[in-house]
Amino acid sequence: GHEKGAFTGAIASKPGRFELADRGTLFLDEIAEIPTEMQVKLLRAIQESSFERVGGLKTLKVDVRLVAATNRNLQTEVETSRFREDLFYRLNVVPIHLPPLRERPGDIPLLVEHMLERFNDRLGKQVTGLSHEALAAFRAYGWPGNVREMENVLERLVLFCEDTEITLDLLPEELKTGAAYAVASSTGAPPRLDRDLSGRVSMKELVRETTAQLEKELIVQALDQTGANVTRAAQLLMISRKSLQNKMKEFGLREES
């Protein structure tokens, strides 16, 4: 925050983030990117629960809960003197490790649903979801850019989608290629692959078939491991029981009574 006249253009006093978050929670994203001189000021504000606005003399007291996030290893940043050790220990009270998106594919359908709702509102679209093949490609892709990469991809897909469903052919090549690679790595190159690459079957059709094949194999494996218990198999696959039942019906797998 700043006081009126603190610098050119400061025509009125303005409260800062700490002030606005008083008696609440303040989220600091990418905490490792804060310059060293700002780290000193942040440390003081945390330790003393007080600060002064830019150009101000009055000390303001606040009661703020801080949540900080980073995609870097802060201990390594401390060891290389890029992050203050005292600030690290002040922030590292209750550390929470959030695994990358590639390690929690079960979260992808929920994230997709949430993002589609947001992008539909923003772009005036009515995209209801991803096709089974497109969702399988999303789950198989490694997402090196994590959730932000998925947000960018989905926003672009919603923008250019002319139907109510995003299909596999609309996906960028890296997703289709990544999905095909994941299928090959998980199941081994199927014997029919050489025949399919003779030019009679397109890559899009091959990806669609192989992802469906992988889905079926994973479902069969989950049912085997759980003694055909659909509820437990769905939990193992991190999908809803209803979704598993629909997939079983699609692949001709009977549910034992």
Q: State the sign of the Cα–Cα–Cα–Cα dihedral 178, 184, 190, 194.
A: positive
- Provide the H-helix boundaries in the chain: 17-20, 36-48, 74-79, 85-91, 108-123, 132-140, 146-160, 173-187, 193-196, 203-225, 230-237, 241-250
The residue ranges of the chain whose pLDDT is under 70 are 177-201, 203, 256-257
108-140 pLDDT, tens per residue?
Answer: 999 999 999 999 999 999 999 998 888 888 988
Q: What is the pLDDT of residue 173?
A: 84
239 and 123 co-located in one domain: yes
- β-pairing, 24-28 with 50-52? unpaired
In a domain, 232, yes or no: yes
49 and 158 co-located in one domain: no
72 and 109 co-located in one domain: no
Closest by Cα among 163, 96, 85, 177 to 130: 163
In a domain, 172, yes or no: yes
Q: What is the pLDDT of residue 197?
A: 55
Query: How far apart are alpha carbons 25 and 7 in whole angstroms?
Result: 29
86 and 153 co-located in one domain: no
158-164 contact pairs (CB < 8 A, 24+): 158/116, 158/119, 158/120, 158/123, 158/125, 158/127, 159/119, 159/123, 159/125, 161/125, 161/127, 163/127, 164/126, 164/127, 164/128
Q: What is the CATH number of the domain that holds 217?
A: 1.10.8.60
Q: What is the pLDDT of residue 92?
A: 92
In a domain, 3, yes or no: no
Count of the separate structural domains present in the chain: 2
Q: What is the CATH number of the domain that holds 61?
A: 3.40.50.300
Name the residue range of residue 170's domain. Answer: 102-250
120 and 241 co-located in one domain: yes
164 and 234 co-located in one domain: yes
Contacts of 26 (CB under 8 A, 6+ apart): 17, 18, 64, 65, 66, 67
55 and 132 co-located in one domain: no
Q: State the sign of the Cα–Cα–Cα–Cα dihedral 117, 121, 125, 126.
A: positive
Q: What is the pLDDT of residue 199?
A: 61
Q: What is the pLDDT of residue 185?
A: 47
58 and 140 co-located in one domain: no
Place of tokens 């199941």: 187
Q: What is the largest CA-CA distance in the chain?
A: 78
For 110, half-sphere exposure in the C-beta direction (CA atoms, 13 angstrom radius) is: 8
238 and 112 co-located in one domain: yes
Residues 46/66, Cβ–Cβ less than 8 Å: yes
CB 254: neighbour CB atoms within 10 A? 8
Q: What is the pLDDT of residue 181?
A: 46
Q: What is the pLDDT of residue 130?
A: 93
186 and 114 co-located in one domain: yes
pTM check: above 0.75: no
In a domain, 256, yes or no: no
Reported residue count of the chain is 257
Domain boundary among 91, 114, 139: 91
In a domain, 97, yes or no: no
128 and 81 co-located in one domain: no
